[in-house]
Amino acid sequence: MDLRFLPEDMNWICQPCGVPLEPGMVELHYVGNVFRVELPVCPQCRQVLIDEELALGKMLEVEKLLEDK
Amino acid sequence: MDQKELHALEALCIQEEPPGCQAGCPLGVNARAFVQAVGKDDLAGGRAILEKSMPLAGIVARMCEAPCEQYCKRETLGGAIAIGRLERMCIEAVPSKAKFLKLPPKSKKVAVIGAGPSSLALANDLAKKGHPIHVYHTESGPGGWLRNLTDTVLKLEVIDQELKRLESFGVKFHPVKVLDYALCTEEYDAVYIGQDDELAADLLAMIGPADGETCALDQKGWFTGGLQAEGDPYRFIMAVSQGREAAISIDRFLQGASLTASRVKPRNGKTDLFVQTKDLSELKRIEPADQAGYTREEAVEEALRCIDCQCLECVRNCVYLAEYKSYPKVYARRIYNNSAIVKGVHQANTFINSCSLCRQCEVICPNDFSMADLCLQARQQMVVEERMPPSAHWFGLEEMKSAQGESRLLSHAQDQQDSAALFYPGCQLAGIRHLQTVKLYNELCAIEPKTGIWLDCCGAPAYWSGRQEDFEIMVEGFRNDWQSMGKPRLILACSTCLKLFRDNLPEIESVSVWKLLAEQQLVKKNIGKNALALSDPCTSRDDVETQGAVRSILQQLEQPLAPLEMSGKLTECCGYGGLMAGTDPALGRKVVEARVKQTESVMLTYCAMCRDRLALTGKPVLHLLDLLYPETALEAATPAESISARRVNRRRLKQIMAERCGKDELPQRYDWENIELVISQALEIVMEERHILEDDVRRVLHDYKQSGRHIAHGSENRKLASSRIGAATFWVEFYEEGDTFHLLRCWSHRMSIHQPDTGGR
């Protein structure tokens, strides 16, 4: 799994923090597996953005892969 | 399932049984594959198939009397395929490309007395195995009576060509004046006496009766064959077959092995392959313009008459079985292997989880093979072993939870302290036709005022998804509920609920609402309507009583019916059963598409889920209630109810029924229910596909309104909010206009997000 998932459009502001999201490391958990990935994150409150393309693309693919193991 | 159970199951599926022609071939030639190759004008391929099973194919293909043709299924449909003629044409048209392999030489020698067809076949088979073979023949040359035939039947050069091939395998030919006993010297470890040649009287006198299976004689190491009399219709091919059987015996004898242990017996035409011929029309056998034989074009045309005998009865009728491009015998093995995997990818998970469990295959299969049992057991095993993919049946289970929770209601009728009967409409009728459900309840109360109401889900999603333990707990709960109501009779509208109650709670008197209505005097006439194609729900397959009651209602309403072949006991699933559409939405779609193509007429059903699944295709479909109660009827063209609307309808029905029964138990109102949404039609479709409910979206937006937490676009008027609801995180992209939320996009994922150092969300 590619560990960097930053959307083309990074122009997102965390609210109510009021600061732009930045690349940051988070963990994705599924059926007992853990992945460390780089995603847009609020540097203050750690709110994470998972965009549609990632959720329905690579993420779904990995979910299915893990389920069939 | 253990190996033994697997083998028993595999044996039920007869698709791999040989076709009649192959079973009727004394050499077991795959004539079906051969004829199919000729039909494709692939003569080289055809010849290769012949050479695989035929010794001395150059001679045998020209001389065989084709006993196989007696077993051809075309026999009564224009005449058997002329397999003999096709073989002859093929062998003459293309040269051999086969490379004959010979095993390393062995030391034990075999004497072959006589050189008729049986002897040559035997010499061929044993020489290939490496045995030194000595063939004794009269001075006219090897071949026996084959050498006396005219050129149009068999040219000498063909015989000589095959003899040369035998010599290349190391067969030694010895001309002698007479084929007598003196040749059977002690230097030979085994002797074969080919009676299809001119044997001397002293040798003939030595031969007693031969064993029918092994061709063995009383003398140890002696074998015989070629017993057919001149004039026998299969003289040639039976001699070759006996030579082959004797060769098997001699090979075993020389190795000191049993002559009979696990020996494959000739089938003599016997096969269990089932071949459906009812839809085939007659096609006359192609007669060759020149009696000497077929031209290539004639042969191809003749071969194209071949039925290509296969069973595949279940596969032909089931989109799911056809989707995976094989048949139950292979599927059973695939599922067994999938269960046996400890590590690695379980590639059959989706396959196992997408069978609709409709059991049509059981009815169609000549041996009652059940894919439903196979898949359901595999699912139960996956659940027990904790390797059931959590997403496989997720949405169906969510629906169940909602129907058993927020939308559940159990009540006596208004002003009644007890119930003589309880109406159990089922969660789908409640979700899809809630106003008609009320109407139906009123009718039932008119028949029996002490009719209470039970809104619930029968637990089918738990059962279908293999969650047997959960399901049994539910059943226990249903029993308690029923007892708490004074053990009344249950009146059910849904075939699935009815079946599950009957199978699991036989102590409850459960009856179909349609049976009850059929017994009433129905005065409503439905005159002047077009014939409708009645599609029985798959869970009514064995319920002759309910199916009959529905037809009786239609008769009373004077509603004519259009024919629909796969109905009644043979009926088909709408793609929802077994949670197929949840596991594999595209397959579920294919199933309904195929179903609606089976009739030009407007369809009719008495299962709410079937009605909406079939209507997904755009096909006009009516529910039986539309005919019974025209005042609440919906048009046949009414689109399917969305998953979001179903949830809302169930809550509404609960509210109406609770008020109707004077029950305080109104459905819980949620803060998020009032959130106003604007959703484009295109997005509605996307949400339906992604199983995202308006309820889910409202909950996300409610969370956002409460907390103010969201992600706003830096330059455009777009916001993102997300919430974890159950096993998924839902994301909504929107903009606000006053109190109204305009949805732009929504999606979900199952992975949960965690901070490397803190908890998840």
Q: What are the tens digits of pLDDT across the range B233-258?
A: 999 999 999 999 999 999 999 999 99
Q: Given an 8 Å threshold on Cβ–Cβ distance, is B753 in contact with A52?
A: no
Q: CA of A15 to nearest chain B CA: how many angstroms apart?
A: 5
Q: Count Cβ atoms below 10 Å from residue B338 Cβ, excluding itself.
A: 19
Q: Which residues pair with B222 in a beta bridge?
A: B191
Q: Which residues pair with B489 in a beta bridge?
A: B421
Tell me the two tokens of residue B504. 């699991």
User: Residues in chain B whose beta carbon is closer than 8 A to a beta carbon of chain A?
Assistant: 343-347, 349-350, 389-392, 708-715, 719-720, 722, 729, 731, 733, 745, 747-756, 758, 760
Residue B464 has pLDDT above 80, yes or no: yes
**For residue B98, what pLDDT is reported?**
81
Q: CA of B714 to nearest chain A CA: how many angstroms apart?
A: 5
Name the band, by pLDDT with cuts 50, 70 and 90, for residue B760: very low
Q: Given B611, B645, B669, which residue is the final one in a domain? A: B669
DSSP 3-state percent helix, strand, coil across chain B (nearest 5)? 45, 10, 45
Q: CA of B405 to nearest chain A CA: how many angstroms apart?
A: 26
| B262 assigned to some structural domain | no
d(CA B171, CA B105): 12
**For residue B757, what pLDDT is reported?**
62
B415 and B330 in a single domain? The answer is no
Q: Given an 8 Å threshold on Cβ–Cβ distance, is A46 in contact with B347?
A: no
B516 and B636 in a single domain? The answer is yes
Q: Count Cβ atoms below 10 Å from residue B635 Cβ, excluding itself.
A: 9
B246 and B279 in a single domain? The answer is no
- Dihedral angle sign, alpha carbons of residues B97, B98, B102, B103: positive
Q: What is the pTM of this model?
A: 0.88
B551 and B660 in a single domain? The answer is yes
d(CA B167, CA B103): 15
d(CA B499, CA B540): 8
| B105 assigned to some structural domain | no
- Dihedral angle sign, alpha carbons of residues A63, A69, B6, B11: positive
User: What percentage of chain B exceeds 70 in pLDDT?
Assistant: 98
Q: Given B653, B669, B685, which residue is the final one in a domain? A: B669
B659 and B675 in a single domain? The answer is no
User: Do residues B524 and B504 lie in contact, with contact meaning Cβ atoms separated by under 8 Å?
Assistant: no
Q: Which residue of chain B has the CA closest to A20?
A: B714
Residue B640 has pLDDT above 50, yes or no: yes
Q: Given an 8 Å threshold on Cβ–Cβ distance, is A12 in contact with B709?
A: no
**For residue B164, what pLDDT is reported?**
95
Q: Given an 8 Å threshold on Cβ–Cβ distance, is A50 in contact with B731?
A: yes
B295 and B334 in a single domain? The answer is no
B524 and B554 in a single domain? The answer is yes
Counting the structural domains of chain B, the total is 5
Residue B704 has pLDDT above 80, yes or no: yes
B633 contact partners, CB below 8 Å, separation of at least 6: B622, B625, B626, B627
Tell me the two tokens of residue B60. 């045998």
The three-class DSSP label of residue A20 is strand
Helix (H) or strand (E) holding B375: helix B371-384
d(CA B164, CA B142): 11
User: What percentage of chain B exceeds 90 in pLDDT?
Assistant: 89
B116 and B129 in a single domain? The answer is yes
Q: Given an 8 Å threshold on Cβ–Cβ distance, is B713 in contact with A27?
A: no
B233 DSSP 8-state letter: T
| B651 assigned to some structural domain | yes
Task: Enumerate the residues of chain A whose CB falls inside 8 A of the CB of residue B747.
Answer: 52, 55-56
Tell me the two tokens of residue B313. 């009865």
**For residue B477, what pLDDT is reported?**
98
The three-class DSSP label of residue A4 is strand
pLDDT one-digit tens code per residue, B118-170? 999 999 999 999 999 999 999 999 999 999 999 999 999 999 999 999 999 99
For residues B316, B317, B322, B328, the Cα torsion angle rounded to the nearest 10 degrees is: -90
The three-class DSSP label of residue B248 is helix
Task: Enumerate the residues of chain B whose CB falls inside 8 A of the CB of residue A21.
Answer: 711
Q: Given B622, B638, B669, which residue is the final one in a domain? A: B669
| Domain CATH code at residue B158 | 3.50.50.60
**For residue A32, what pLDDT is reported?**
85
Q: Which of B349, B713, B758 sits opposite A12 (nearest CB)?
A: B713
d(CA B16, CA B444): 53
| Domain CATH code at residue B682 | 3.30.2310
Q: Which residue of chain A has the CA closest to B749?
A: A55
Residue B737 has pLDDT above 70, yes or no: yes
| B97 assigned to some structural domain | no
Residue A25 has pLDDT above 70, yes or no: yes
B654 and B678 in a single domain? The answer is no
- Asked if A4 has any chain B CB less than 8 Å from its own CB, the reply is no
Residue B530 has pLDDT above 50, yes or no: yes
**For residue B667, what pLDDT is reported?**
72
d(CA B575, CA B579): 8
pLDDT one-digit tens code per residue, B680-689? 999 999 999 9
d(CA A67, CA B15): 33
| B398 assigned to some structural domain | no
Phi first, then psi: what are they for B40, rounded to 5°? -95, 10
Task: Enumerate the residues of chain A whose CB falls inside 8 A of the CB of residue B708.
Answer: 15-16
| B343 assigned to some structural domain | yes
**For residue B324, what pLDDT is reported?**
95
pLDDT one-digit tens code per residue, B601-628? 999 999 999 999 999 999 999 999 999 9
| B610 assigned to some structural domain | yes
In this predicted model, which residue has the larger pLDDT, B226 or B528? B226
B429 and B552 in a single domain? The answer is yes
Residue B535 has pLDDT above 60, yes or no: yes
In 3D space, the residue among B91, B427, B369, B50 whose CA is nearest the CA of residue B240 turns out to be B50
- Asked if A37 has any chain B CB less than 8 Å from its own CB, the reply is no
B676 and B662 in a single domain? The answer is no
d(CA B430, CA B438): 9
- Residue B738 burial (10 A CB sphere; 0-12, 13-18, 19+): exposed
Residue B344 has pLDDT above 80, yes or no: no
| B235 assigned to some structural domain | yes
Q: Given an 8 Å threshold on Cβ–Cβ distance, is A47 in contact with B751?
A: no
The distance from CA B169 to its chain's CA centroid, rounded to whole angstroms, is 46
Q: Which residues pair with B224 in a beta bridge?
A: B193
User: Do residues B391 and B460 lie in contact, with contact meaning Cβ atoms separated by under 8 Å?
Assistant: no
- Asked if A17 has any chain B CB less than 8 Å from its own CB, the reply is no
d(CA B712, CA A20): 9
Helix (H) or strand (E) holding A14: strand A12-15
Residue B395 has pLDDT above 70, yes or no: yes
User: Do residues B649 and B431 lie in contact, with contact meaning Cβ atoms separated by under 8 Å?
Assistant: yes
* Domain boundaries, position B317: 313-384
d(CA B86, CA B35): 8
Residue B2 has pLDDT above 90, yes or no: no
B611 and B510 in a single domain? The answer is yes
Name the band, by pLDDT with cuts 50, 70 and 90, for residue B759: very low
